[in-house]
Amino acid sequence: MAANDPGSTFDPPADAVVRRPDFLLGVATAAYQIEGAATEDGRLPSIWDTFSATPGKVLHGDTGAVACDHYLRWEEDVELLAGLHVDAYRLSIAWPRVVDAAGRPNEKGLAFYRKLLRRLKEKGIRTSVTLYHWDLPQHLEDAGGWRNRATAYRFAEYADLVSRELAGLVDFWSTLNEPWCSAMLGYGTGHHAPGQADLLAANQAMHHLLLGHGLALATLRRNDPASRKGIVVNVGRGTTDGTTPDDARAAELFELQHNDWVLDPLLRGQYPPRLHDELWPAARPPVQDGDLETIGTPLDFLGINYYFRTNVRADGNGGYVEVPLPGVERTQMGWEVHPDGLRDLLTGFHRRYDNLPPIYITENGMASDDRVVDGAVVDRQRIAFLERHLAAVDEAVKAGVDVRGYYVWSLLDNFEWAFGYERRFGIVHVDYATQRRTPKRSAELLREFLARRRSPS
């Protein structure tokens, strides 16, 4: 699917899945990364407000207090979306914005999302809403956060409230975004909020995240039956350039903890035994009777987020260690550009899980050091990146995988978590000093392609 000049055209083959009118092509964002207005209209503090305000936790001391000012500029951003002709828009609800500390609705926060979703519907844009994209209310973290089983029930109550208030305005509900990141980066390594580094805590958090997901699915089905319900998981391709059986096992263990840790309980009703027998014998999930049945509630769809491949070798202690490959293409994040990894994971899941639901690629994109030059941003690497990853999706579809849509991450440059504002993932450039939005060349090509698809000559 790659164009001859990735800076000037985007023209997938005539038989490419992305050309089908029923294949959703959209863009995605998340509340804390774009909304700002951290204290407006009754919004409570989240773990990311606390974490980013802690010296040394986020690059350059950046926070999401203002971000892209989307809370106040949402009408401009909806017009931007409509002008791109996207089929769908994925966003998240800020839990601290819509529920107070006693669990009661905050009408001003709910009104914001109600207005936003109605306007998107008026523009003919399909809506995909994630309930939890990492911004846990701080008062719940103070009570133990996702280590505490009670948080799973608070999440189900929050899902119940929001889905009653926004029923009929949402096409796709996702319970969680990337529980692996919430559990491992938040509680296992301390790289993300709330900043804990305890493998047992990570396993506790993962189990309660997945339990909250299963509990929330029941309320979503009851309150908004016409919508589709699922979850969004991040997946990683693990390979090795080592030559020993231990190196091959290391690559298996990488994917076991990165992918199977989440997908096996969702789709098989069990945690992968090897994970705890071989890799984490002292860190097991706190499973109670009935939990795995709740977690394994059937999904209408599975959201897949994919960004890069990781090369590993055996560490000599029964585990693995990352060994970056030399001479490969990388993004501003230092992540390897490896589209084949997406194809290989999708086809592998198709073989592994008999009950694999329809898949949407809910995030795929790259960061680059984009600058506005003479009023334009020509992001050639991103254009080639998107073309090649869409080609990988196309190969997976032709191999039998039921992939029904693809969302570019992200609509806007935004607060990139621990990396602050230095890393730019958007197809629209944001000048954070003025909040001026400038569509990059990737956005222009996406718009031109979608306009052609809607009005084929």
Q: Are 251 and 240 in contact (CB under 8 A)?
A: yes
DSSP state of 159: H
- The number of angstroms, rounded, from the C-alpha of 433 to the middle of its chain's C-alpha atoms is 27
Measured CA to CA, the distance from residue 111 to residue 376 in angstroms comes to 35
- Name the token pair of 14: 């005539």
Measured CA to CA, the distance from residue 340 to residue 351 in angstroms comes to 17
Q: Which of 35, 178, 255, 363 is catalytic?
A: 363
Q: In what order do the strands lie in the sheet with 320-322?
A: 237-239, 309-314, 320-322
DSSP class per residue in 343-358: HHHHHHHHHH-TTPPP
Residues 6+ apart with CB under 8 A from 326: none
DSSP-H helix ranges across 240-355:
245-255, 261-267, 273-274, 291-295, 339-352
- Name the token pair of 44: 């409570």
Measured CA to CA, the distance from residue 412 to residue 432 in angstroms comes to 11
Measured CA to CA, the distance from residue 448 to residue 457 in angstroms comes to 13
Q: CB 10: neighbour CB atoms within 10 A?
A: 23
Q: Are 133 and 31 in contact (CB under 8 A)?
A: yes
Q: CB 22: neighbour CB atoms within 10 A?
A: 8
Measured CA to CA, the distance from residue 271 to residue 202 in angstroms comes to 14
Closest CA to 286 of 206, 171, 340, 231: 206
228: phi then psi, degrees, rounded to nearest 5? -105, 145
CA angle (50, 262, 267) in 5-degree steps: 140
293 is catalytic: no
437: phi then psi, degrees, rounded to nearest 5? -100, 130
- Catalytic residue numbers, as ranges: 363
